[in-house]
């Protein structure tokens, strides 16, 4: 006796993932305020354009590293928004790592 295998046609539509876009990220308007930009300019002048975590000053292609003002105690946790003692200057890599760790910690606390 021989058995014959048959295939079933999928009834689910296939979604082309190239057409799906992530929602755009939004920036807190505070970070575009004159008070914040003035404070950041002053801190970079005083502390130098270097990451305070890893010390990096240049990209691999020689351009100056982009510096982010990172609140040590985040605003949503009650951190002072314009206190220089609450702000570290971080490059993109260090800032993203710190932000991801804070998000993971906050998510773990919810569950």
- What pTM was computed for the model? 0.73
What pLDDT was estimated at residue 12? 67
Regions in the chain scoring below 70 on pLDDT: 1, 5-13, 15
Three-state DSSP at 33 gives coil
Within the chain, residue ranges assigned H as helices are: 34-47, 92-110
What pLDDT was estimated at residue 109? 84
Residue 48's region, left for phi above 0, alpha for psi from -120 to 50, else beta, is left
What pLDDT was estimated at residue 52? 97
What pLDDT was estimated at residue 110? 79
What pLDDT was estimated at residue 108? 86
In the chain, what are the domains?
32-110 (3.40.1800)
For residue 88, what are the β-bridge partners?
Answer: 70
Burial degree of 111 (CB within 10 A; 0-12, 13-18, 19+):
exposed
- Counts for the chain of helices (H) and strands (E), in that order: 2, 2
């Amino acid at each position: 006796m021989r058995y014959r295998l048959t295939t079933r046609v999928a009834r689910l539509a296939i979604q082309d993932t190239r057409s799906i876009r992530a929602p755009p990220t939004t920036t807190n308007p505070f970070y575009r305020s004159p008070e914040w930009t003035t404070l950041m300019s002053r801190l970079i002048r005083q502390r130098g354009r270097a990451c305070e975590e890893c010390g990096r000053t240049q990209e691999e292609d020689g351009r100056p590293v982009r510096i982010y003002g990172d609140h040590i105690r985040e605003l949503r946790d009650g951190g002072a928004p314009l206190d220089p003692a609450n702000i570290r200057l971080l490059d993109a890599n260090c800032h993203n790592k710190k932000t991801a760790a804070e998000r993971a910690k906050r998510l773990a606390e919810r569950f």
